[in-house]
Structure 1
Amino acid sequence: MTFSIPPIEDREIAWASELMGLGPNGFAAIDGDDSRLKAIKNLQTCDFEACPGSGKTTLLVAKLAILASRWPYRQSGICVLSHTNAARDEIDHRVSVAASGSSLVRYPHFIGTIHGFVNEFLATPWLRSKGNPVRLIDTDIALKRRFSKLANNWRFALEQRGLDRYALQYDKSDYSGENKGKLARDTPLCHALEAASREGSQEGYFCFDEMFVWANELLDQYPEVAANLRRRFPLVFIDEAQDNSELQSNILHRIFLEGDAPSIRQRFGDSNQAIYAHNGADGATTDGFPSGAPHNLPRSHRFPQGIANVAKGLGIVPQELKGSGPTRSRISREALPPVLFLFDDESVLNVLRHYGNHLISMFDPQELSAGVFTAVAGVHELDDKAALSIPRAMGHYAPTYDPVSAKKESTPRTFGQYLSKSSRDALETSNAQGIVNALASALLRFAELAGATPAWLGGRKSAHRIVLDALEGSSAEGTYRSLLDKTITLRGQFDAAEWQSALPQVTEIGAHLAQATKFPQVAIDFLTGPEALQSSPAEASSSQTILNFYSHPPEMPKVHIRLGSIHSVKGETHTATLVLDSYYYEHHLSKLKPWILGERAGGMKKKAKGKPELESSRLLGRLKLHYVAMTRPSHLLCLAMRRDAFIAAELKQLQTQGWQLVDCNAD
Structure 2
Amino acid sequence: MIEITNEDIDSIEKILLPYGSKFDDDHRKVIRNLKTVDIKACPGSGKTTTLIAKLLILEKKLPLKNNQGICVLTHTNVGVNEIKERSSNQEESKLFQYPNHVSTIQVFVNKYLAIPSYKHFYNDNVYSIDQETYSESFNRAFLKIPWKYRTNINRKYKTDDLCNKLNFCLEEDEFIYIGNKKLSDVYNETSDTYNYLKGLKNDLFNKGILSYHDAYVLAFKILKEFPEIRNLISARFRYLFMDEMQDTSSVQMKLLNRVFDKEQVSIQCIGDENQAIFENSSGELGWKPKNTLSLAKSKRFSTSIAECVDKVCIKPQNIAGNQSINNIPPIILVFNDSTINKVLPSFSKIIIDNNLHNNDRKIFKAIGRVAKVHNEGHITIPSYFPSYIKSGNEKIKRSYKSLGGYLQAISQFEDLNVSGCRKLIINCLLHTMRIENIRIEGKWYSERKLVEKLEEKNKVMVVNLNRHIAKWILKIQNAEAISSEISTFIMEKFIPFFKGNKQINKNLKEFCNIEADESGESLALTKQVKTFTYQDVISNDEIVVSLDTIHNVKGETHTATLYLETYFKQYDLMRIMQYLKKKHITPKGKELPEALCLAYVGLTRPTHLLCVAMRQETIDGNEEDLREVGWQIRHL
Q: Which of 104, 108, 111 is the aligned partner of 2:95?
A: 104
| 2:505 alignment partner in structure 1 | none
Alignment partner of 1:346 is 2:338: yes
Task: Give the 3 Å change call, closer, same or farther, for CA 252–506 of structure 1 in structure 2.
Answer: farther
Aligned length: 579
224, 227, 234: which one aligns with 2:231:
227
Q: Taking structure 1 as reference, are residues 298 and 305 closer, same or farther at Cα in structure 2, changes over 3 Å only?
A: same
One-letter identity of the residue aligned with 2:186: L
Q: Which amino acid aligns with 1:19?
A: I
* Change in CA separation of 1:21 and 1:412 when aligned onto 2, cut-off 3 Å: farther
Q: Which residue of 2 aligns with 1:646?
A: 619
Task: Tell me by how many angstroms 1:634 deviates.
Answer: 0.9
Residues 314, 656 of structure 1: alpha-carbon distance in 2 compared, 3 angstrom cutoff: closer
Q: Distance in 2 between matches of 1:325 and 1:314?
A: 21
2:288 maps to amino acid = F
Q: Which residue of 2 aligns with 1:196?
A: 200
For the pair 1:363 / 2:350, whether they are aligned, the reply is no
Task: Give me the whole-angstrom Cα distance separating, in 2, the residues matched to 1:570 and 1:510.
Answer: 43
Instruction: Give, in angstroms, the shift of residue 52 of structure 1.
Output: 1.0
Which of 562, 579, 592 is residue 576 of structure 2 equivalent to? 592
Of 272, 275, 281 in structure 2, the residue corresponding to residue 273 of structure 1 is: 275
Q: Relative to 1, partners in 2 of residues 1:115 and 1:253: Cα closer, same or farther, differing over 3 Å? A: same
Match of 1:82 in 2: 74
Letter in 1 for 2:8: E
Residue type at the aligned position of 2:584: A
Maintained 8 Å contact 2:398/2:424: no
> In 1, distance between residues paired with 2:489 and 2:26?
51
**Do residues 634 (structure 1) and 607 (structure 2) align?**
yes
Alignment of 1:418-437 (within 5 A): 422=414
Structure 1 pair 547–554 and aligned structure 2 pair: CA distance change class (3 A): farther
Are positions 1:7 and 2:11 aligned together? no
Distance 1:266 1:514 in 2: 49
**Unaligned runs of at least 5 residues, structure 2:** 435-443, 450-461, 496-507
Distance 1:407 1:353 in 2: 29
Q: Which residue of 2 aligns with 1:35?
A: 26
Distance change >3 Å, CA 120–CA 470, structure 1 → 2: farther
Please list, as runs of the form range in 1=range in 2, the aligned pairs for 1:104-143 lying within 5 A after superposition: 104-129=95-120, 130-139=122-131, 140-143=135-138
Residue of structure 2 aligned with 1:214, choices 208, 213, 218: 218
In structure 2, do the counterparts of structure 1 residues 279 and 223 end up closer, same or farther at CA, with 3 Å as the change threshold? closer
User: 1:443: Cα distance to partner?
Assistant: 5.6
Pick from 301, 304, 309 the counterpart of residue 303 of structure 1: 301
* Contact 1:338 1:658 survives alignment (8 Å): yes
Provide Cα deviations, 1:518-556, integer angstroms capped at 9, x if missing partner.
549998769547x9566xxxxxxxxxxx75222334999
**Conservation of the 8 A alpha-carbon contact between 1:175 and 1:194:** no
Shift of 1:240: 0.6
Tell me the CA shift for residue 438 of structure 1: 6.6
> TM-score, normalized by length of structure 1?
0.77
Q: Counterpart in 2 of 1:56?
A: 47
Which SS does the other structure have where 1:586 is aligned?
Answer: coil
Of 220-229 and 547-556, deviating more is 547-556
SS at match of 1:350: helix
Asked whether the equivalents of residues 235 and 264 of structure 2 are also in contact (C-alpha less than 8 Å), the reply is no
Q: What is the rounded CA distance, in whole Å, between the counterparts of 2:331 and 2:430 in structure 1?
A: 48
Matched residue of 1:638: which SS? Answer: strand
For residue 481 of structure 1, the aligned residue among 470, 474, 480 is 474
Which residue of structure 1 aligns with residue 384 of structure 2? 397
CA offset digits 1:192-222 (Å, max 9, x no partner): 3122111111112111121000011011111
Query: 3-state SS of the aligned residue for 1:197?
Result: helix
User: For 1:106 and 1:589, how far apart are their aligned partners in 2?
Assistant: 48
Q: Structure 2: which amino acid aligns with 1:54?
A: S
Task: Write out per-residue CA displacement over residues 478-522 of structure 1, whole angstroms, 9 at most, x where no aligned residue.
Answer: 121122355xxxxxxxxxxx9xx5876898999999977654999
Tell me the CA shift for residue 77 of structure 1. Answer: 1.6
| Pairwise CA distance, 1:567 | 1.2
**What's the counterpart of residue 264 of structure 1?**
266
Distance 2:113 2:104 in 1: 14
Aligned Cα root-mean-square deviation (Å): 3.9
The structure number with the bigger radius of gyration is 2
Q: CA separation of 1:615/1:99 partners in 2, compared to 1, >3 Å: closer, same or farther? A: closer
- Provide, for residues 440-494 of structure 1, a one-character-per-residue CA deviation record: whole Å limited to 9, x for no partner: 676677678776855379xxxxxxxxxxx998544332121122355xxxxxxxx
Compared CA separation, residues 523 and 103, structure 1 to 2 (3 A)? farther
Aligned letter for 1:642? R
- Deviates further, 126-135 or 19-28: 19-28
Query: Could you report, residue by residue, the CA deviation over 1:327-369 in whole angstroms, capped at 9, with x for unpaired residues?
Result: xxxxxx62422121222223323322222222222225532x6
Can you list the C-alpha shifts for 1:541-591, whole angstroms capped at 9, x where unaligned? Answer: xxxxx7522233499983222221111111221111111111111100122
Tell me if the contact between 1:412 and 1:418 (Cα under 8 Å) persists in the aligned partners: no
Q: How far apart in 2 are the matches of 1:190 and 1:421?
A: 40
Q: Is the 8 A contact 1:375 1:562 kept in 2?
A: yes
- Asked if 2 retains the 8 angstrom alpha-carbon contact of 1:302 and 1:325, the reply is no
Asked if 1 retains the 8 angstrom alpha-carbon contact of 2:69 and 2:238, the reply is yes
Q: Deviations over 1:27-60 (max 9, x none)?
A: 23xxxxx221111100001110111111110000
Give 2:584's match in structure 1, choosing from 595, 601, 609. 601
Identity %: 26
Question: Is contact 2:627-2:633 (8 Å) kept?
Answer: yes
CA offsets 1:223-251 (integer angstroms, 9 cap, x no match): 11121111222211000111111110000
- Give the Cα separation in 2 of the matches to 1:6 and 1:311: 40
* Paired residue secondary structure (2:177): coil
Cα distance in structure 2, aligned partners of 1:398 and 1:456: 48
Which string of whole-angstrom CA distances, capped at 9 and with x for unpartnered residues, describes residues 167-194 of structure 1?
A: 4333342251252755056342333312
| Structure 2 residue identity aligned to 1:619 | L
Which residue matches 1:495?
none
Q: Distance in 2 between matches of 1:352 and 1:114?
A: 39
> In the alignment, which residue of structure 2 is the partner of 1:159?
154
Change (3 A) 1:98 1:199: same
Cα distance in 2 for residues equivalent to 1:511 and 1:343: 63
The two structures have a TM-score, normalised by structure 2, of 0.80
Counterparts in 2 of 1:405-416, with a 5 A limit?
405=392
Give the stretch that moved more between structures: 187-196 or 112-121.
187-196
- 8 Å CA contact 1:307, 1:323 repeated in 2: yes
Name the residue aligned to 1:568: 552
Q: Specify whether residues 472 and 661 from structure 1 end up closer, same or farther in structure 2 by C-alpha distance, changes over 3 A only.
A: farther
- Residue identity matched to 2:389: D
Task: Give the whole-Å Cα distance in 1 for the aligned partners of 2:154 and 2:302.
Answer: 53
Corresponding residue SS for 1:552: strand
- Once residues 26 and 166 of structure 2 are traced to their aligned partners in structure 1, the CA distance between those partners, rounded to angstroms, is 48
Instruction: Sort the Cα spacing of 1:190 and 1:418 in 2 relative to 1 into closer, same or farther, 3 A.
Output: farther
In structure 2, which of residues 527, 530, 533 is the aligned counterpart of residue 548 of structure 1? 530
- Provide the secondary structure at the position in 2 that maps to 1:314: coil
Is the CA contact 2:365–2:558 (under 8 Å) kept in the aligned structure 1?
yes
* Match of residue 458 from structure 2: none
Pairing 1:177–2:149 present: no
Query: SS at 1:561's partner residue?
Result: strand
Aligned to 1:558: 542
Check 1:180–1:315 CA distance in 2 against 1; reply closer, same or farther (3 A cut): closer
5+ long unaligned stretches in structure 1? 29-33, 327-332, 424-433, 458-468, 487-497, 535-545, 605-613
Aligned-residue offset at 1:157: 2.8
